[in-house]
Amino acid sequence: MNVPNIVIAAGSVATSKSSSLKQEVQALMESGWWSGSSNFTTSHCDWPGIKCNFGGSITEIDIAGNIYLGDKFRKFKFSSFPNLVRLSLSNNQILGCIPFEIGSLSKLTHLNLSHNYLTGQLPLSLANLTKLVKFDISFNGITGSIPKEFGNFKNLLELNLSHNKFTGPIPSTLGLLTNLSNLNLSFNEINGSIVSEIGLLKNLLNLYLNNNNLVGQIPLTIGHLTKLETLNLNWNMISGPIPTELASCFLIKFLSLSHNYLNGSVPSWVKDLYAPIKIDLSYNNLTGNVPISLIRMREFNLSYNSLEGRVPIIFKNYGFEVFIGNKDLCSDIKGFAQCPSPSLISPSTPPLALENIVSRMEDDIIEATEDFDIRYCIGTGGYGSVYKAQLPSGKVVALKKLNHLEAEDPTVDKSFRNEVKMMTEIRHRNIVKLHGYCLHKRCMVLIYEYMERGSLFCVLNNDVEAVELDWTKRVNIIKDIAHAISYMHHDCNPIIVHRDISSNNILLNSKLEQAFVSDFGIARLLDPNSSNQTLVAGTYGYIAPELAYTMVFTEKCDVYSFGVVALEILMGIHPGELLTTLSSSSSSSRNMMLNEILDQRLPPPNRIVARDIFFVATIAFACLCTKPKSRPTMNWVSQEFLSRKKPIAKPLHVVSLWQLKNQENYMVGDIETQ
C-alpha cells in the first residue's frame, strides 16, 4: 500500500511538486506498460497514449487495444498519479482483480476497463472515485454484487457493467445517480426485482437490464423515466402486467420485453409513442386481443404469447411470423386461419350505438382504412376528413372522421353528436344514409353510404362529367334537393335547418340521376326553447344576406342557399357576382337573357326541357329574394315541383334576368295565401 504518497499528493503542492513528479515518472517506468514501445529517452509526456498538464503531471492514459498488460495492471502504482483524470485500458488483456489502490485516483472522471479478463469482486475503494462520469467495465468476469457504494458516483452519466458475472440485487442506491443517462447491467446474473428507485433516474435515456435473473413486476415508477429511449428487459423472469405508467415514456424507440412471464394485455398506448422503431413483446404470457393502433415501426413482435381473436389487416406488412405461437388468432392476413364470422355493418341494420359492438366496429373501420391512411382519403371538410373504405362485408362506405384535436373541442364534439342524432332519425331518398357510427374517444367516425361520383361541385368542375350531367338530370337534381330540404324543414320534429347547403354538400349517385343532401355537421335541432342565434356558419357564397346583420338562422337561410345551388346547376358555375349585381338597378346583367347564363358546355335545351329550365329558374330566383319573408318555403317549392301544372312556356332568349327577379311579386302573393 502507498498511503504516504497519497498524503504527499493531497498536501502542499508547492513543496512536494518535484518529488511527486519524480514519483510519477518512476512509477510509469516501473509499470512496464511501455517497455516494448519506448526507450525512455523522450519526455514521459510524449509517450504513446499519455497526456500531461502544464506542470508535467499525467492527466490521461489511453492505451486501449494497443498493449498487452496481463498482470501488469495489478502492479501499477495508482497512488503515484494524483492528477489522472482519464484511464482507458479497454482491450488490453488485463488479468486478475482490480486492485484496492485504484481508489486513490481521486480525480478520475473516465475509467474504461472493458473487454479484459478481470475477475474477482469490485474493490470497495472504488467508492472513492466520486468524480466518475463514465465507468465501463463491460465484457469481463467480475463476480459478486454491485456495491451499494455506487450511489456515491453522483456525477455518473454512463455506467456499463454488462457481460460480467454480477449476482445479487440491483442496489437501491443507484437511484441516487440522478445524472445517469446510460445504465447497462445486461448479461449478468443479477436477481431480485427491479427496484422502484430506478424511477429516480429521470435523465436516463437507455436502460439495459436484459439477460439477467430479474423477477417480480416492472415497477410503476418506470413511468417517471420520461426521457427514456431504450428499455431492454429481455430474458429475465419478470411477471405481472406491462404497466400503463410506461405510456409516459412516449419517447421510447426500442422496447424489448421478450422472454419474460409478463401477463395481461398488449398495451394499447404503443400507438401513442412518438417515434418507435422496435417493439418486441414476444415470448411472454400476454392475453386478449391484438390492439388496434397506429402502429408504425420497423420491427414489431408479438409471437409466442396467448393472444386470441382477430388480427387487423393493418398488421399485414409485419407478416405472420410476428404473431406465430399464439393461442387463437385469425385474420385475413396471409398465413392466418380465417376468422369464423366477419363482423359486418349492413346497411339495413339500424344505426349502431355504443355497445361492445363499438370496439369491433372500430377494428373494422381502422382495418378497412389501414388506420386512416391518406390513400383512402377522398376529401377534407370543415369538420374532418372523409375516407373511402370497404368493410369486411364487402360494402363500400364513406367514413367521416373527426381528427382528435377537433374531437376534443367541446363545441365541435357537440355538433358531431347533433349530426349523429339527427341523421339517425332521418329517412329520405334524397338524404345521405347514415349506416352507423362510432362515437368513442379514439374513434369519432360516421359511416355513410358511399357516393362514387362525389359532390355536385366536383362534377360541375369536370368538363366531361358536367356534359354527362345533361339538362334533364340537372332539373331532376334541383328537384331532389328541394324535396330533401323540405323534408327537413317540415316533416321532422323538431325541424332541422341544414345551415350549410352548398354544391359541396350535394352528392350524386353513380348515374348522376339522383342527388343526396349530406353534411349535417353544422345543422342544429331548432328547439323552440333554445336560441337560434349562433355564430355564422355556412359556406361563403351561399349565405343568405340577412345573416350578416341578424346572425339568426332560420329555414329561410336554407331557402336562399338552395336558390344559389339551383342557379349554380343551371349555370355550371357558382353565380358569384351575378347575385349582387342583379340587385343594383344600373347593372347591365338586368338585361341579360336566361339562355345567356346557361352552362355553355351543354347543347341548348330542346323546347320541352327549356320549359322545365324556365320553371326552376323562376323558383330559384324567388328563393334568392333579399328579404327572407319574400322567399317561398321549401314546402311550397317542393309542392310546385311535384304538381303537374307548369307555367306557360317562354323561349329562354326572351326571358331576362330582370323579369325573373320581378316574378317575386307574383310568388310572394301566392306564398302568403298558403
Ligand X SMILES: *[C@@H]1O[C@H](CO)[C@@H](O)[C@H](O)[C@H]1NC(C)=O
Known binding residues for ATP are 400
Q: How far is the CB of 438 from ligand X (least distance, A)?
A: 27
Cα–Cα nearest to 517, from 531, 504, 536: 504
Stretch that binds ligand X, among 302-310, 416-424, 450-458, 474-482 (CB under 6 A): 302-310
Among 66, 125, 462, 659, binds ligand X (CB under 6 A): 125
Residue 186 makes contact with ligand X by CB under 6 A? yes
Instruction: Select from 176-184, 393-401, 506-514, 538-546 the region that touches ligand X (CB under 6 A).
Output: 176-184
Report if residue 64 touches ligand X, rule: CB under 6 A: yes
Question: Measured from the CB of residue 258, what is the shortest distance to ligand X in angstroms?
Answer: 6
Q: Is 168 in the site for ligand X (CB under 6 A)?
A: yes
Please identify, using beta-carbon distances, which residue of 388 and 524 lies nearer to ligand X: 524
Separation between Cα atoms, residue 524 and residue 554, nearest integer Å: 11
Q: Is residue 306 near ligand X by the rule CB under 6 A?
A: yes
Cell of 195: 427496484
Q: Of residues 500, 519, 558, 612, which has the active-site annotation?
A: 500
Pick from 186, 175, 282: nearest CA to 231? 186
DSSP H or E segment with residue 508: strand 506-508
Residue 56 touches ligand X, criterion: CB under 6 A: no
State yes or no: residue 66 binds ligand X (CB under 6 A).
Answer: no
Q: Which of 184, 236, 256, 415 binds ligand X (CB under 6 A)?
A: 184
Number of chain positions touching ligand X (CB under 6 A): 61
Task: Name which of 621, 630, 633 is nearest 491 in CA terms.
Answer: 633
Q: How far apart are CA 457 and CA 505, in angstroms?
A: 8
Alpha helices in 83-229 (DSSP H): none
Nearer to ligand X, 240 or 647 (CB): 240
Q: Does 239 bind ligand X (CB under 6 A)?
A: yes
CB of 192 to ligand X, least distance (A): 5
Distance CA 518, CA 502 (A): 10
Per CB under 6 A, the list member of 158, 229, 364, 558 interacting with ligand X is 158
Query: First-to-last CA distance in the chain?
Result: 116
* 409 given a catalytic annotation: no
* Binding positions: 400
Cα 158 to Cα 601: distance, rounded to the nearest angstrom: 74
What would the x/- binding string for ligand X be over residues 242 to 281, using CB under 6 A?
A: -------------------x-xx-----------------
534 lies in the site for ligand X, by CB under 6 A: no
**Number of other residues whose CB lies within 10 A of the CB of residue 135:** 23
Q: What are phi and psi of 12, to 5 degrees?
A: -65, 115
Quote the least distance from Cβ 314 to ligand X, whole Å.
16
List 31, 155, 359, 581, residue binding ligand X (CB under 6 A)? 155
Whether the Cβ atoms of residue 129 and residue 137 lie closer than 8 Å to each other: no
β partners of residue 189: 167
Among residue numbers 193 through 222, which ones bind ligand X (CB under 6 A)? 206, 208
Per-residue contact flags (x/-) with ligand X for residues 598 to 637, judged by CB under 6 A = ----------------------------------------
CB of 208 to ligand X, least distance (A): 4
Q: Beta-carbon neighbour count of residue 614 at 10 Å?
A: 21
Strand stretches in 511-612, DSSP E: 515-517, 524-525
Distance CA 515, CA 505 (A): 10
Is residue 31 involved in binding ligand X (CB under 6 A)? no
Q: Look-up: residue for cell 515518472?
A: 25
Which residues lie below 8 Å from residue 359, measured CB to CB, with a gap of 6+?
A: none
Residue 582, CA distances (Å) to 585, 627, 662 in order: 7, 14, 11
In three-state form (DSSP H/G/I as H, E/B as E, the rest C), the secondary structure along 584-607 is CCCCHHHHCEHHHHCCCCCCCCCH
CA distance 9 to 266: 59
Burial 514-526 (b: 16+ CB within 10 A, else e): bbbbbbbbbbbeb
What is the x/- site pattern for ligand X, positions 551-590, by CB under 6 A? ---xx-----------------------------------
Contact status: 178 vs ligand X (CB under 6 A): yes
d(Cα 481, Cα 517) in Å, to the nearest integer? 7
Comparison of 557 and 570: residue with beta carbon closer to ligand X: 557
234 binds ligand X, rule: CB under 6 A: no
Q: Does 160 bind ligand X (CB under 6 A)?
A: yes
Among 4, 36, 410, 528, binds ligand X (CB under 6 A): 528
Q: How far is the CB of 220 from ligand X (least distance, A)?
A: 15
Cα–Cα distance for residue pair 90/318, rounded to 1 Å: 40
Give the residue, chosen from 12, 41, 338, 588, that forms a contact with ligand X under the rule CB under 6 A: 41
DSSP 8-state symbol, 64 = T
Backbone dihedral region for residue 390 (phi beyond 0: left; psi -120 to 50: alpha; all else: beta): beta
Name the residues annotated as catalytic. 500
Residues of this chain that interact with ligand X (CB under 6 A) are: 6, 39, 41-42, 64, 90-91, 100-101, 103-104, 112, 114, 125, 128, 134, 136, 138-139, 154-155, 158, 160, 162-163, 167-168, 178-179, 182, 184, 186-187, 191-192, 206, 208, 239-240, 261, 263-264, 282-283, 285, 287, 299, 301, 303-304, 306, 321-322, 526-529, 531-532, 554-555
